[in-house]
Amino acid sequence: MARFDLNDDGLVVIIGSGAGGGTLGNELAQKGIKVVILEAGGRHEIQDFVNDEWNSFVQLAWKDMRTTSGSWRVAHDFPNLPAWIVKSVGGSTVHWAGASLRFDDHEFKIKTVYGDIAGANLLDWPITLAEMEPWYAKAEFKMGTTRTNGIPGLPGNNNFKVMEAGARKLGYKEVHTGRMSINSQPRDGRGACQQIGFCFQGCKSGAKWSTLYTEIPKGEATGNLEVRPNSMAVRIEHNAAGKIDGVVYVDGNGKMQKQKARIVAMAGNSLESPRLLLNSQSANFPDGLANSSGQVGRNYMRHMTGSVYAVFDKPVHMYRGTTMAGIIMDEARHDPKRGFSGGYEMETLSLGLPFMVAFLNPGAWGRGFTTAIDGYPNMAGMWLVGEDLPQETNRVTLDPVAKDTNGMPVASVHYDDHANDIAMRNHAYQQGAAVYDSVGASRTFPTPPYPSTHNLGTNRMSEKSRDGVVNKFGQTHDVKNLFVSDGSQFTTSAACNPTLTIVALAIRQADYIGGAMQRGEI
């Protein structure tokens, strides 16, 4: 196993080991480039995962202090938990559901296609779908996405069967068990899905792709990748010339260390990455590192989300089998006749009883609530996930008062729905309920958005340096040897789940970084 010296200034240092950081780390290591990944969380392997919702949450989730504001309900119900993401080696690829969808063409250029929308800070990506296609193909092959590369779809479960029956009744056409990075048959040294049903708690069969047991061990096997868990980055530092020269972090013993670097890539997800840039302010960068545009932390997107659960007259046992067991894609199109721009996916979802009572209707109590919970064995459910619009005022800032255990200001997340998000959510609730009503639901529950599992946009890509933070390769406009490799690069959120795009961008970014290093540009 590689161990690199703190004073080795020839390294690429990556902050975060998830879809972006883990993939970038392996891709660079395969090219012979030496990499250190600093991961804030511990290293929990497959045998450590717990198939128990609350115990798993305690093990894997980011529970560091964060504050919130804005009109979103999460700020009221979960004021210190704006996001449900993973603090552990593998990042959020440990707990993700596996949905692996490509953006549509128009989703890379919503300013052009949607036009100007008041209150929204729309911008086109500096990349097109056509440019991304070869990288998407590489990502699907790497991750073993079903319905690509000859990999059969997963079989579905009761929850999917109910949704599918309703979907057909309503006339939906694009209905199937999803493009999932979960092995439907043994592949890449990992077994097939065992339908265990605890996808969100870490996949104990290894069938679901996660950097923890794919990219990271493959990278480590080259001898060029070192993963340091329990290493919380607190500042990125630069030399007098403004070139990044290392990352200050707190190690597993609570000691401050500085790892020198030739290149730094941030992949701490969309709350920590901008926070780190803002906390790295200096005389050269008074508004935060790489923030000449003022866009660091801004344009925070978390998708339009909501859920619909429905109770039927017979048991469904929706929790048995994969959590995201199928999808209706018809509403993902851009069709302003519906009263909003952009679209949404309808994906099956299940929560166990412990989480259902916490999230079905936070704060609710009494018989209205308990009779709903009594219907649990007969419940089916879906998650509605759609494109939310970037707004400058939706942003991650440094909390003026709250500090973490290292004395650093914590992230504060402000979010308000745009009118477009509200119109889309209402449409989605209506359609979701209609799916279930059409096949005999006795009650349907429109469930409010959970703490954000998709966090995007806070260091967005832009053509011009005044509009965003990074260029088309995730390289910051202001500092050549500083990159962003996580979902904070996203210029738009698109209707679909972000992980495939993050992985595709990371493979492409590795290619760019490797070439630029060879040419001596960085």
Which residues of the chain form contacts with another protein (CB under 8 A)?
Answer: 53-54, 315, 317, 319, 352-354, 357-358, 363, 365-367, 369-370, 373-374, 376-377
Query: How far apart are CB 52 and another protein at their closest, in Å?
Result: 9
| Cβ proximity to another protein, 62 vs 376, nearer residue | 376
Query: How far apart are CB 377 and another protein at their closest, in Å?
Result: 3
Give the CB-side neighbour count of residue 227, counting CA atoms within 13 A. 31
Report CA-CA distances (Å) from 302 to 79, 205, 419, 497: 16, 29, 15, 10
Dist. CA 515–CA 522, nearest whole Å: 10
Report CA-CA distances (Å) from 300 to 20, 86, 207, 273, 412: 18, 18, 32, 12, 11
| Cβ proximity to another protein, 287 vs 374, nearer residue | 374
Report CA-CA distances (Å) from 203 to 51, 182, 245: 9, 10, 37
Query: How far apart are CB 131 and another protein at their closest, in Å?
Result: 46
Give the CB-side neighbour count of residue 8, counting CA atoms within 13 A. 14
| Cβ proximity to another protein, 249 vs 319, nearer residue | 319
Query: How far apart are CB 302 and another protein at their closest, in Å?
Result: 23
Give the CB-side neighbour count of residue 183, counting CA atoms within 13 A. 20
| Cβ proximity to another protein, 77 vs 104, nearer residue | 77
| Cβ proximity to another protein, 53 vs 404, nearer residue | 53
Dist. CA 519–CA 401, nearest whole Å: 45
| Cβ proximity to another protein, 200 vs 213, nearer residue | 200
Query: How far apart are CB 204 and another protein at their closest, in Å?
Result: 18
Query: How far apart are CB 272 and another protein at their closest, in Å?
Result: 27
Give, as one character, the DSSP assignment of residue 502.
H
| Cβ proximity to another protein, 52 vs 237, nearer residue | 52
| Cβ proximity to another protein, 15 vs 441, nearer residue | 441
Which helix (DSSP H) or strand (DSSP E) does residue 373 occupy? helix 367-374
Q: Copy the structure tokens of residue 291.
A: 């923030």
Query: How far apart are CB 352 and another protein at their closest, in Å?
Result: 6
Which residues, 6 or more positions from 281, have their beta carbon under 8 angstroms from its beta carbon? Answer: 287, 288, 289
| Cβ proximity to another protein, 355 vs 512, nearer residue | 355
Query: How far apart are CB 448 and another protein at their closest, in Å?
Result: 15
Dist. CA 157–CA 169, nearest whole Å: 18
Query: How far apart are CB 416 and another protein at their closest, in Å?
Result: 25
Helices (H) and strands (E) in the chain, counts: 12, 17
516 alpha-carbon distance from chain centroid:
27
Report CA-CA distances (Å) from 227 to 4, 13, 31: 10, 10, 17
